[in-house]
Structure 1
Amino acid sequence: MRSLIYSLLAIFIFSTANAQQTATGEINGKLLTQDGKPAAYVTIFLKDTRLKTISGEDGSYAFQQVPAGNYILITSFVGLESQSRPVVMAAGENKTVDFNLKENAVELQEVIVATGKSVNERNTSIGKMPVAIRELPQSAAIVGEALIRDQQAQRLSDVIKNVNGVYLGTTRGSTQETFFARGYNLGAYNMFKNGARVNTGVMPEMSSLEKVEVLKGSAAILYGNVAPGGIVNMVTKRPKFNFGGEVSLRAGSFGLVKPSFDVYGPLSSSVAYRVNGTYETTNSYRDNVSSARYYVNPSLLFKLSGKTELTVQGDYLYSNFTPDFGIGSVLTEPNQLADLPRNAFLGTPWQYNKAQQATASVNLRHKFNDAWTLNSNVSYQQFNRDYYSIERVQIQTNGDFYRPLNKILSEENYYTAQVDVTGKFNTGRLKHVLLAGADAERYLTSTYGFTNPTVYDTINVFDAAKYVPRTDIPAADRKTLIKTPINRVGFYVQDLVAITPKLNLLAGVRWSMQESPANTTSYLLYNDSTTKGTYKADRAFSPRLGLVYKPTNSTSLFVSYASSFSPNTGTDIYFNALSPSIIDQYEAGIKNEFFNGALTANLTLYYIRNNNLAQTAQFDSSGNVNSNTNLKELVGQTGSKGIELDLAYNPAPNLNIVAGYSYNDMRYVKTPDSKGSYIEGERLVSTPQHTANGSIFYTFNTLALKGFKIGAAVFYTGKRFAGWNNTVGQTQTYSRLIPVSGFTTVDLTAGYTYKHISVLAKLSNITNTLNYYVHENYSVNPIAPRQVIATVSYRF
């Protein structure tokens, strides 16, 4: 990694010196639609040269370092009428050439959705800067609405499977989805909706999403207290000033029924609306497991002026899901996953998890001029969980399972606010894109403790007649109420400097503070309260530095370093707040486009060093085995290194191919030399070394088959360990790791569209592969078997 970075730095220095020797100029301008709106993502190229670029979100474009000569400037986009302009360039001259396209903004948007554009040429709202991905020393991925629709995504995991190097884990009871990237859990701190941090206690609704963005690597400077590996941002559908919409009905295996609607249009010349929603009910391939949920997402867009717009939106989700800890593991020597059928359910018929999530946000965007923009967002979120269930499926060697019971009643209130200012300016020959901002958060969790029994009953998973299982619902009285407040604030500044047309420098720093007041515990049975833990405030600076070298218009190389400040949730075993983790991340890569942008090939190498990793404590303060995931311990230093290859190929407007491969190796590299410490050099659980993905979709455009589409998707998750990592002086004489084999699933899709009506069907896991998502060694959930899903839609 160091050798690669040094080599790239040498190239940077050479190119900088060489760039000053040629007197070249610049061609820039703006593309507008017939109705005066910016024309984004339109291709502009100089005829008979290799120079090509894409217009930005504001319709602007620029060719830098253009030698003197006569040129023909051409705009091109599938479905649009091409236009050309002659340009005569003298040495060192700058020219401005604007275009007015004959299509309006609605027609242009339809073409963009239909054809797509190169990943490296896109801007991302998650990056907060008005520059293309290829200009940044970081890798990113975008899954658009077309792919979400084609794959009939039910859950966020169906979308994330298309993002190379990000893979699905599971959580206690499978009541929510957890994702990992580069070896790290992307928990609640790393999940966002429309740029605001969002609770992950319930599976989000996919029908409301316009796209999902993933920013890999360090995001601390932009979003503050996040774990390493990356962040995920869900972008919801926006109001439109043209009337339209869609109604659909989805049905599938195991009783899935899901009607949905989406309606948008103008309320006036300056106000537009959008409302979408859905209801879903389904059983499961797992016995006694079912789900019912409904969702609504209204939004309003106010054009306050030609430069200012205000978006107000909210959503509400209710979910009633049967908690399911799967088949569990057998406490043998060594431990192993239970050999039970895929449908075996070991809980009670009455257990439940009822969750409600409501959010509201206001976004204000103002353009001072073509160079400077202000973006601010204020949001509120409330989350409630009512949970009562059998837990922790750990089976004795003879098949006995002492079924533990747990009751959770909690409420989370989350307030966030952020403001960003971006601007473009020059200092001499240097061109700057500046980002400055601030954010603040207030997070309050209220959790009840109950008097319910810790063990419900005993069953035998191999001999159902051995015991008579209980069927009653035990009384559970509220015993305690624990309130946990967290306050966060951060200020950041970042500057992307074009030192030359071929060389970018990205430098920035963030100051973060997290305040953790002591928890307050109220004893409801005694009308008393106390405070546990101590007040703690953590402060840190998080620097970021990166270089991007562009030897050609289609290739960029980058190196970067970032340090992040990641607070740790929960407390130590004495109820004191944990110290934060300081994480160093190094990254290098190359972004390529071939065949005039039809093929994108990106390669990234990374190394992440967590100087103080926090994990669930093995024992509580009394020395007993700990079952409380809120009690944690700092276990030492870990290292995560890997490589990611991303490919996107669009050889024709109606053919889309996406593929990726990732390798990750995450191990303990430095731990305390004491009893209970983890073993240096051992790979961490839940981290597969190899993952891969690929999908292909083709839409026929011949007269006989016009309207038909077919597709296939392949997903691979490699070998990984479940269970627990081994420790120094552990009582077990055998490894606590449980090997889990890798697996591959294949999905097939076919559809037909005629005028306003479309039909789409998918056969998933066509080989009926059996494997597992594992959370430690007690929540072991088999993956879904072969199943069919189909959607009928009417668009108006």
Structure 2
Amino acid sequence: MKRLQPYTFYLFTAILVLFTFINPTHLYAQKAKGTVTGKVVTAKNEPADNVSIGLEGTGYGTITKSNGEFSFRAPAGSYKLVISYVGVDHVEVPVVVKAGETVTVPAITVNASLSQLTEVNVIANRANRFTSKVSTDVGKIPLDNLENAQSYTTITNELIKEQQIFTVDEALRNSPGIQKLWDATGRAGDGGGYFTLRGFVTQALVRNGVAGLVTNSIDAVNVEKIEVIKGPSATLFGSTLTSFGGLINRVTKKPYETFGLEIGETVGSYNLNRTTVDLNTPLGSKVAFRLNAAYNYEGSFQNNGMSRTYAVAPSLSIKANDRLSFLFDAEMFYGRGSAKPFFFFYSTPKDLGVTNANQLKIDYNQAYSNDDVTSYSRSLNYFAQAKYKISDKFTSQTVFSSSNSFSNGPSPYYYLITDEIAMGAPYNAPDLPGQGNYILRNDQSTANSKLGAIEIQENINGDFNIGSVRNRFVFGLDFQRQNSHQIYLDHQYGYAPINDPNFDYGNFNKQLVDAMDPGTPFPYIYKTNTYSTYLSDVVNLTDRLIASVGLRVDRFENKGTYNVDGTQSGKPYSQTAFSPKFGLIYQPIKEALSLFANFQNGFQNTQVFIGENNQPVTPKIQNATQIEGGVKAELFNGKLNGTLSYYRINLTNVIRNVPGSNVFKVQDGTQQSKGFEAEIIATPVSAVNIIAGFSYNDSKYTKAGANVQGLRPNTAGSPYLANVYISYRLPQSLIKGLGVGVGGNYASNNKIINSVSEGTFELPSYTLLNASVYLDRPKYRLGLSGNNLTDKHYYTGYTTINPQRLRQFVLSASYKL
């Protein structure tokens, strides 16, 4: 293993020191416990199902059962039992816990609709406001983190708001082990941001546990929390929405029963101008409506470039009766913007004589095109959900999701080339010393491209005992359809110097693009259907030992691929996949420390390829298996939360080139990705909250062509990643609601080209520093944040070099009713 980089070493050492103090003596020194029981009801005396409730300033609590009842253990002492959430009147109930005894509190009434309480995990006033104990989506069963044998990270709305983050892409900087590779391009089908997770590329394609495709940067105005679910997860989520490294699930805001309004305005560097609204209103005794919307305009840190987006997310909840409720919601994203510069290699790094981005002659502040070269994008997502309470032990959830993306317009990008290739170009500059003095200007337009996706899902959840053994299970049926009519057009606009202050880069403009002949289209026209069934059961074998098992059967049907004129270019085919999942939890300290292990599976249906005999080959299913083990902790009354894990993922049936050919392929390759992840969320002293993460990933081709055998894939990202954020909110006795936060991210060198023939090319390591200060009062909020405070020049990319935003200051204000 390589020596740790300095920044990573310091963070990793701090984590180890922190856990050194967590020895058995400290763990078992916790106070003797008693039991707290009670019931939560709505204002209409309806049982409040699946509500999180806990002791103020601690991590002790639970979620209510379907009849509204709850029971949990906690150390002896005097506390306040608290439920607190937007739109819900703050409820506090004094309670005294006595060791070895059970205390029953009177029924707790909350001023909220049953729909809100069942759809959103109401979070008690925890020791750390950046934690979220319970997830209903990760396992498709309501589970506490300590009961779930899978690793995942939750990014809460409280953290997003405090850091003044406006997109899901930006919020992911708070999760260990995930790294942005590409900025969103807005192209239909594939235009969302690209990330690497555990060595594999993934996108944010999941919303509330089902398909919710957005092909641009996802505005966070409607986000309640983000869950980064680690490792192959096809058993519960299928292959269409996940990668072998995991998936990104965004949980959205839901309507509630009382009136609420928050209006916000933000300004900042690069002409940032943002307006938001969050309106909620009851529409009678059983109906509530909520609208979240945002307008966002931002220029570029470069001399040209702009992005204008609109996000509108209405939602409607209806309670038909005591057993049946409905939720209807939509997300509508519209955008027009100019492309951020992407630099590809036309000539290899070997030919250019470079191994690192710092050796290139790119002008960091140059956009290389006029900002009137823009494209239009649109993502429309519609959702409907029906929940039916079959009995006290069983519920039914039926979900319909429709996602539609559209894009039209140019997307400029640039090739790095040798001077020899550029000779004779329209631009006749004198010969310059060295190589890489020119770029080839291109764009890949989308021509009224569309991608539609439909998902229909039925889940039956149960929570029952067989003897003394508790079972929590889900049985699901899932249908997904994708209908693609994506059309791409490739154009070249000639050579230009890569760094010449006298050259008019603005002549790459709308007039030039509009005058270009459309050329030959490159279509991605196809239809696929996927029929699935899955089952997962979480079994409490004892009060400390929990086992889980799951299986998915997946039938994939590719209806063939087609040319623009309707002629068939690829034959239809079908495949059947089986995806098992196993997990084991043991709690040496009940409800405080879990040792976990899992076996998880992922698979993907790949495209037909040309085999060694020059004939189309129907591909086999690519299959990934993960073995993972680690520890999860919620210690010292919830003041120390964390996950440490080691994983190994083996991928089979990788398609690779036949030796000596770039056309013919064979599907017998293998790949391995293994690594370590650590996440700490701590409150060492009152009013201080800390988030810290570290990850190391070792990926390599274990069976591949001689060109890449044993090398790290160029899609795996940086081997070492680290993140930290420290927040301090002044005690209420001073200036109530005043807080400050500081944090940053570190990424080691990233090999975006890594082969024998082309050479190795790295994006340099980088360290970013961010900070924020805010005043959060009941009726208003003021905030000032700074991003990339050191004005660091840094790049992201895979196979590409993408300059990233320089220092930015953001000032926001909101008014709340």
Aligned equivalent of 1:215: 229
Task: Give runs of aligned pairs for residues 729-744 of structure 1, distance below 5 A.
Answer: 730=757, 732=758, 735=759, 737-744=760-767
Q: Distance in 2 between matches of 1:571 and 1:357?
A: 31
Residue in structure 1 matching 2:699, options 663, 666, 675:
666
Q: Which runs of 5+ in 2 are unaligned?
A: 1-33, 84-90, 419-434
Q: Distance in 1 between matches of 2:361 and 2:582?
A: 50
Aligned equivalent of 1:585: 626
SS of 1:443's partner is strand
Aligned equivalent of 1:82: 94
Aligned equivalent of 2:161: 149
SS of 2:353's partner is coil
Deviations 1:132-179 (A, max 9, x none): 121111112211111111111122222111111111111686864111
Q: Call closer, same or farther: CA 1:210–1:113 in 2, change over 3 Å.
A: farther
Aligned equivalent of 1:261: 277
Deviations 1:680-706 (A, max 9, x none): 244545421111111122222344422
Q: Call closer, same or farther: CA 1:521–1:342 in 2, change over 3 Å.
A: same
Give the conservation status (yes or no) of the 8 Å contact 2:286–2:319.
Answer: yes
Aligned equivalent of 1:531: 568
Q: Call closer, same or farther: CA 1:251–1:700 in 2, change over 3 Å.
A: same
Q: Distance in 2 between matches of 1:681 and 1:114?
A: 45
Aligned equivalent of 1:462: 499
Shift of 1:311: 0.4
Q: Call closer, same or farther: CA 1:470–1:339 in 2, change over 3 Å.
A: closer
Give the conservation status (yes or no) of the 8 Å contact 2:128–2:638.
Answer: no
SS of 1:241's partner is coil
Give the conservation status (yes or no) of the 8 Å contact 1:698–1:710.
Answer: yes
Q: Distance in 2 between matches of 1:482 and 1:641?
A: 34
Q: Answer with 556-565 or 647-656: which moved more.
A: 647-656
Residue in structure 2 matching 1:657, options 682, 690, 695:
690
User: Aligned pair 1:332/2:352, yes or no?
Assistant: yes
SS of 1:147's partner is helix
1:100 partner letter: A
Shift of 1:775: 2.7
- Give the TM-score normalised by structure 2: 0.82
- Give the TM-score normalised by structure 1: 0.84
Aligned equivalent of 1:626: none
Aligned equivalent of 2:25: none
Aligned equivalent of 2:750: 720
Task: Give runs of aligned pairs for residues 13-162 of structure 1, distance below 5 A.
Answer: 30-32=39-41, 36=45, 38=48, 40-43=51-54, 53-56=61-64, 59-62=68-71, 76-77=81-82, 80-84=92-96, 99-101=106-108, 104-105=111-112, 112=124, 119=131, 121-162=133-174
SS of 1:221's partner is helix
SS of 1:127's partner is coil
Q: Answer with 605-614 or 52-61: which moved more.
A: 52-61
Aligned equivalent of 1:678: 708
SS of 2:124's partner is helix
2:81 partner letter: S
Give the conservation status (yes or no) of the 8 Å contact 1:29–1:97.
Answer: yes
Q: Call closer, same or farther: CA 1:134–1:456 in 2, change over 3 Å.
A: same
Q: Distance in 2 between matches of 1:703 and 1:63?
A: 32
1:696 partner letter: I
User: Aligned pair 1:412/2:451, yes or no?
Assistant: yes
Give the conservation status (yes or no) of the 8 Å contact 1:549–1:558.
Answer: yes
Aligned equivalent of 1:521: 563
Q: Answer with 786-795 or 112-121: which moved more.
A: 112-121
Aligned equivalent of 1:422: 461
2:755 partner letter: N
Aligned equivalent of 2:401: 379
Q: Distance in 2 between matches of 1:85 and 1:704?
A: 31
Deviations 1:340-386 (A, max 9, x none): 23212223554222111111110112222332121121011110011
Q: Distance in 1 between matches of 2:639 and 2:36?
A: 24
Give the conservation status (yes or no) of the 8 Å contact 2:769–2:790.
Answer: yes
Q: Distance in 2 between matches of 1:710 and 1:118?
A: 15
Deviations 1:75-99 (A, max 9, x none): 733872223588988xxxxx99564
The share of aligned pairs that are identical, in percent, is: 22
Aligned equivalent of 2:676: 643
Q: Distance in 2 between matches of 1:321 and 1:456?
A: 20
1:740 partner letter: L
Residue in structure 1 matching 2:784, options 731, 741, 761:
761
Q: Answer with 242-251 or 307-316: which moved more.
A: 307-316
Shift of 1:741: 2.1
Q: Distance in 2 between matches of 1:26 and 1:394?
A: 67
Q: Call closer, same or farther: CA 1:572–1:548 in 2, change over 3 Å.
A: farther
2:654 partner letter: L
Q: Distance in 1 between matches of 2:697 and 2:467?
A: 43
Shift of 1:747: 0.8
Q: Answer with 349-358 or 656-665: which moved more.
A: 349-358
Deviations 1:218-274 (A, max 9, x none): 311111113222111112211111001100101100101011111001000000000
SS of 1:159's partner is helix
Residue in structure 2 matching 1:692, options 713, 722, 726:
722
Shift of 1:447: 2.3
User: Aligned pair 1:357/2:355, yes or no?
Assistant: no
Aligned equivalent of 1:794: 815
Give the conservation status (yes or no) of the 8 Å contact 1:42–1:75.
Answer: no
Deviations 1:647-680 (A, max 9, x none): 11135664322111111111111225xx6x5222
Q: Call closer, same or farther: CA 1:575–1:149 in 2, change over 3 Å.
A: farther
Task: Give runs of aligned pairs for residues 389-408 of structure 1, distance below 5 A.
Answer: 389-396=411-418, 397-408=435-446
User: Aligned pair 1:545/2:566, yes or no?
Assistant: no
Aligned equivalent of 2:328: 312
Q: Call closer, same or farther: CA 1:753–1:687 in 2, change over 3 Å.
A: closer
Root-mean-square deviation (Å): 3.4
1:354 partner letter: Y
Q: Answer with 162-171 or 651-660: which moved more.
A: 651-660
Deviations 1:496-533 (A, max 9, x none): 1111111111111110121112112133xxxxx42112
Q: Call closer, same or farther: CA 1:402–1:118 in 2, change over 3 Å.
A: closer
User: Aligned pair 1:439/2:488, yes or no?
Assistant: no
1:254 partner letter: Y
Q: Distance in 2 between matches of 1:616 and 1:708?
A: 59
Give the conservation status (yes or no) of the 8 Å contact 1:328–1:395.
Answer: no
Aligned equivalent of 1:16: none
Q: Call closer, same or farther: CA 1:571–1:276 in 2, change over 3 Å.
A: farther
Give the conservation status (yes or no) of the 8 Å contact 1:325–1:391.
Answer: yes
Question: Larger relative CO (CA 8 A, sep 6+): 1 or 2?
Answer: 2
Q: Distance in 1 between matches of 2:77 and 2:734?
A: 39
Q: Distance in 2 between matches of 1:173 and 1:313?
A: 25
Q: Call closer, same or farther: CA 1:133–1:223 in 2, change over 3 Å.
A: same
Q: Distance in 2 between matches of 1:85 and 1:433?
A: 28
The total of aligned residue pairs comes to 731
Q: Distance in 2 between matches of 1:495 and 1:339?
A: 57
Q: Distance in 2 between matches of 1:455 and 1:315?
A: 36
Give the conservation status (yes or no) of the 8 Å contact 1:120–1:591.
Answer: no
Give the conservation status (yes or no) of the 8 Å contact 2:315–2:327.
Answer: yes
Give the conservation status (yes or no) of the 8 Å contact 1:612–1:636.
Answer: yes
